């Protein structure tokens, strides 16, 4: 209801009884759902007071591992991509060591321009060890999500560690994103591993700040985690 715009920031949510009738549910799962939304910072109130909508739900929490494609779909945007490079080459020493490979071993590198509703949004760089990256050579990387393809091939992308900072756009990045050299970009450096802790991906995603922002929502019960929000009005684009 929040995502669709039926409920907007400042609106009270329906009573428990109304929610139970609408969703043909008992009170227990309704209460659990409302409590979860409070912990995420989307609702205020509680303890005898009607809960009020505090925020839009069009975010991707970094407490779950979602691809750029899945995030775009979740906010009603159309994801796109154009592959600029897909290559197998000797990896840098730091990269091969991270993958527990011998120095000079080959890795698979991908560079793609990612779009939202046809407009540039992010440059995606990713490096994979050969046993993971080999799956990309039988996949058209211009057609969709690399994560979805790898998962379909049995690759267990389980845990991601994200580091966020900012940088000025290098000339090559600026040219692909359509901005001036040195323009600010938001960078997410990601290391993705399987359930056993084996590193499967080293990634560097560089966002235009007018397409995405990162927000931390805190409540008195604790941190709700980091979320990624679109910074454009989806209804106007």
221 compared with 53, residue with greater pLDDT: 53
Average pLDDT of the chain to the nearest whole number: 87
Q: For the chain, what are the domain ranges?
A: 1-57, 79-208
Dist CA 2 CA 36 (whole Å): 14
pLDDT band for position 234 (cuts 50, 70, 90): very low
DSSP string for residues in 100-147 = T--TT-EEEEEEEEEEETTEEEEEEEEEE-HHHHGGGGGS-TTSS-HH
- Measured from the Cβ of residue 61, the count of other Cβ atoms closer than 10 Å reads 13
Taking the C-alpha atoms of residue 65 and residue 201, their distance in angstroms, rounded to an integer, is: 13
Binned at pLDDT 50, 70 and 90, residue 236 comes out as very low
Q: Which has the higher per-residue pLDDT, 223 or 5?
A: 5
Tell me the CATH architecture of domain 1-57.
Orthogonal Bundle (1.10)
pLDDT at 58: 47
Please name the CATH architecture into which domain 79-208 falls.
3-Layer(aba) Sandwich (3.40)
pLDDT value, residue 5: 76
Give every CB contact of residue 191 below 8 A, 6+ residues apart in sequence: 98, 160, 161, 199, 201, 202, 203
Q: What is the pLDDT of residues 61-111, one digit of tens each?
A: 555 567 889 888 877 889 999 999 999 999 999 999 999 999 999 999 999
Average pLDDT over every residue of 161-187: 96
Predicted TM-score (pTM) of this structure:
0.71
Using CA atoms, how far residue 215 sits from 40, 107, 140, 152, 196, in Å, is: 12, 33, 33, 31, 30
Q: How is 210-230 classified by DSSP, letter by letter?
A: TTEEEEEEEETTEEEEEEEEE
- Among 82, 115, 149, smallest CA distance to 232 is for 115
pLDDT, tens only, 16-69: 999 999 999 999 999 988 887 877 667 887 666 788 988 654 455 555 567 889
User: Do 79-208 and 1-57 have the same topology in CATH?
Assistant: no
In this prediction, residue 237 carries a pLDDT of 38
């Amino acid at each position: 209801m929040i995502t669709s715009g039926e409920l907007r920031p400042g609106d009270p949510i329906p009573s428990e009884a109304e929610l139970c009738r609408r969703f043909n549910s008992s009170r227990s799962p309704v209460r659990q759902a409302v409590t979860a939304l409070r912990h995420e910072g989307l609702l205020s109130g509680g303890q005898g007071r009607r809960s009020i909508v505090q925020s839009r739900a069009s975010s991707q929490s970094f407490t779950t591992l979602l691809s750029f494609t899945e995030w775009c779909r979740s906010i009603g945007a159309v994801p796109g991509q154009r592959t600029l490079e897909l290559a197998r080459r000797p990896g840098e020493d730091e990269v091969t060591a991270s993958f527990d490979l011998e120095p000079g071993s080959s890795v698979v590198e991908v560079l793609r321009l990612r779009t939202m509703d046809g407009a540039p949004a992010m440059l995606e760089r990713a490096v994979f060890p050969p046993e993971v990256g080999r799956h990309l050579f039988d996949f058209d990387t211009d057609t969709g999500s690399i994560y979805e393809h790898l998962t379909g091939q049995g690759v267990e992308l389980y845990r991601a560690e994200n580091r966020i900072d900012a940088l000025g756009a290098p000339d090559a990045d600026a040219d692909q994103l359509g901005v001036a050299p040195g323009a600010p970009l938001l960078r997410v450096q990601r290391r993705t591993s399987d359930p056993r802790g084996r590193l499967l991906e080293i990634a560097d995603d560089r966002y235009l700040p007018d397409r995405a922002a990162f927000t931390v929502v805190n409540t008195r019960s604790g941190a709700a985690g980091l979320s990624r929000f679109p910074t454009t009005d989806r209804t106007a684009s």
